[in-house]
A and B are shown apart, each in its own frame.
Chain A
Amino acid sequence: MRRRVIILALGLLAVLLWQQAMAQATRNAPRGPAPADAPLITDLSSHLIAITSSFTGTELLLFGAIDEPGEVIVVIRGPVSTAVVRRKRRTLGFWLTRRSESFDGVPGYYAVISTAPLEEIAPQSLLQRLQIGTANLRFRYIGTEPPPDIVEFRNAIARQKIREGLYHELVGGIDFLGPKLFRTEISFPSTVPVGTYQAEVYLVRDDRIVAAQSTPLFIDKQGVEQQIYDFSRAEPAVYGLVAVLLAVFAGWAAAIAFRKG
């Protein structure tokens, strides 16, 4: 916790110093347009989230600076995978799965944090093109001919992910420290999938994206957790056998211990 605060402080300090230097430079420079190469600078407090045995979810700090006031959108995308949506229907009094549809391109984690409601910041076409907002995610239907009610299956994906805390949209979750510096916290639940993530930051002015920056973020299991996972995938038969032997040994040891005790 203390380390995170120090990192945050150092990060902010670096951004502040950089800002000061930039302000100095622009003041000294002949008057003209602001440097086009740096309207937006951002970074994460960490680029690696290690999942260890005590992992219960975590929060990351994303901070940055903009050259002139504007709206900021932060998007975090997790690794994509295939997902199956099943629909239950009452059958002979029981609620049973009657139909399933599969989709590709479903991020395991997705978060959008913005300074104002998305539809007020940017036109719908832009949000759709860049897949900003849970409603604008493009899940690809797997199959030849999508059935007419496919949209109901599609909508169920984001709905459940939101319930599980894996997708979220947060309006006004970006704090500004003065007119230029901003920071926001991104939370990850313990069920967050491992893989390569992208943290994207957009600076929007007058319905247009003025600047964008993308930073990778890695979430990976570490230590014993990593070893157990890798073992179960690399040598599944041996892993199963070890699991059984462990169980037999534990049961036998307990029986012996209690006989003497």
Chain B
Amino acid sequence: MPIYLPIAELSVNLWLLLGLGGAVGYLSGLFGVGGGFLLTPLLIFIGVPPPVAVATSANQVVAASVSAVYAHWRKNNVDFKMGAVLLVGGLIGSSFGAYLFGVLKRIGQLDAVIALSYVLILGFIGSLMMIESIRALRRKPNAPLPARRKRLNDHPFIRALPFKMRFRRSQLYISMLLPVGLGIVVGILAAIMGVGAGFMLVPAMIYLLGMPTAVVVGTSLFQIIFVTANVTILHAITTQTVDVTLALLLLIGSVVGAQYGVRHGARLRGEQIRGLLAALVLIVAVALAIELVVPPEDAYFLEAAPGTTR
């Protein structure tokens, strides 16, 4: 059953969109990521113009994250204080990222920056996560845990940072500059790549902030809701590429999928979840890298300047 998308200005099969939303929603619930890093490339693949794909993915990620965070909140797995501090950085970063998006678009380097940041960031994070989880999975289940590895948050420089704050739920006493800085970086990525950047936030919260794994997923989802909401509104105003029809169809599938994802995620061990997420991130990175490295069919491509029709 085909349906016409008013902002993307093309017709797409309804069941394809529902299925796509469901699959991405399931993974977002399972891994505690927004799923934007999968959704944006998939939408571009089925023919949605890239700016519409980026802006609409952000909108869809809001719904998927609300749906998933609810289940984590019920289990008391959200550190709201940490989420709020991350959010301060996230709002600064995403606003700056939206501005950068406009500048890059004007000088014609937006596509290159989107593609390269996907490949480099996903490739880097995916590899790190993969190495870590393979190591963890190789340990025999009964073997004693190795001595706690030195995490980054133990570094003397990080310990010396001012503005220390107590995060009761995460059992941490760290400088608030760390989560704010992390929020800024992730916020910039959110605006440029149309993602919540949970795939980056989750490992950073574990290794950089030293948060317990149990609260990481819920807390990252909590702050992603607000960052992607900010990105959606900024894109609606500046690039006018948020397709509400497309977002609604995707989120119907994804909110349902996210529920199943959260349930299944509870049955898996932390190392298994991280290993699967790493594999997924690497697959996307490699697929996008191939697209960048293989010579294009036509080296020239056309881009209609928005808002100039008529």
Q: Taking beta carbons and an 8 Å cutoff, which residues of A are in contact with B?
A: 51-57, 79, 81-90, 93-97, 100, 102, 106, 108, 152-153, 156-157, 159-161, 163, 190-191, 193-196, 221, 224-226, 228-229, 232-233, 236-237, 239-244, 246-248, 250-256, 258-259
Within 8 Å of chain A (Cβ to Cβ): is B160?
A: no
Is B124 in the interface zone, CB < 8 Å from A? no
Q: Which of A52, A195, A246 contacts B310 (CB 8 A)?
A: A195
Return the contact of B235 from the options A191, A196, A240, A259 (Cβ within 8 A): A240
Q: Mask for B227-252, Cβ within 8 A of A = 1, else 0?
A: 00100111111001010110110011
Interface of B, secondary structure class, is helix
A242 to nearest B CB, angstroms? 7
Q: Which residues of A contact B60 (CB under 8 A)?
A: 247
Q: Which residues of B contact A55 (CB under 8 A)?
A: 4, 11
**Which of B116, B245, B300 is most buried by chain A, counting CB atoms within 10 A of its CB?**
B300
A244 to B310 CA separation, bound complex (whole angstroms): 30
Q: Are B242 and A250 in contact (CB under 8 A)?
A: no
**B111 CB–A CB distance under 8 Å:** yes
* B9, CB-defined interface residue at 8 Å: yes
**A174 vs B245: C-alpha distance in the bound complex, in angstroms?**
39
A79 x B309 contact (CB < 8 A): yes
A190 and B309 contact, CB distance less than 8 A = no
A195 (CB) vs chain B CBs: closest residue: B310
- Beta-carbon contact of B4 and A255 below 8 Å: no
Contacts of A247 in B (CB 8 A): 59-60, 62-63, 66, 229, 232, 247, 251
| B11, A94: Cβ atoms closer than 8 Å | no
B20 within 8 A of A: no
How far, in whole Å, are A59 and B2 apart by their CA atoms in the complex?
A: 17
Knowing that A81-B309, A86-B300, A250-B66 are A-B contacts, what are 13 other residue pairs whose CB atoms are under 8 Å apart, sorted by A's residue number? Answer: A82-B305, A84-B108, A86-B303, A100-B108, A153-B300, A191-B9, A221-B6, A237-B237, A239-B242, A242-B244, A244-B232, A251-B68, A255-B68
B308 within 8 Å of A (CB atoms): yes
Contact A254 B233 (CB under 8 A): no
B301 close to A (CB within 8 Å): yes
Report yes or no: A255 in contact with B6, Cβ–Cβ below 8 A: no
> Could you jot down 26 A-B contacts, CB within 8 Å?
A84-B302, A95-B294, A95-B296, A190-B4, A194-B309, A225-B245, A232-B7, A239-B244, A240-B233, A240-B234, A241-B236, A243-B232, A243-B233, A244-B229, A246-B63, A247-B59, A247-B60, A247-B229, A247-B251, A248-B63, A250-B63, A250-B67, A251-B65, A251-B67, A251-B70, A254-B258
In the complex, chain A residues whose CB is within 8 Å of the CB of B145: none
Q: A56-B2, A97-B108, A240-B232 are in contact. Are A228 and B244 (CB under 8 A)?
A: yes
Once the chains bind, are A228 and B6 in contact (CB under 8 Å)? Answer: yes
B contact set with A: CB distance below 8 Å:
2-4, 6-7, 9-11, 59-60, 62-68, 70-71, 74, 108-109, 111-112, 115-116, 225, 229, 232-237, 240, 242, 244-245, 247-248, 251-252, 255-256, 258-259, 292-296, 298-305, 308-310
**Known contacts A221-B6, A239-B244, A248-B62; is A57 also within 8 Å of B11 by CB?**
yes
With A237-B237, A241-B233 known to touch, is A246 a contact of B244 (CB < 8 Å)? yes
Residues in A with CB closer than 8 Å to B6 are 221, 224-226, 228-229, 232
Q: How far is the CA of A46 from the CA of B259 in the complex (A)?
A: 48
Compute how far the CA of A70 lies from the CA of B126 in the bound complex, rounded to whole angstroms: 67
Give the Cβ gap from A108 to chain B, nearest Cβ, in Å. 6
Pick from B71, B229, B233, B252: contact of A237, CB under 8 Å: B233
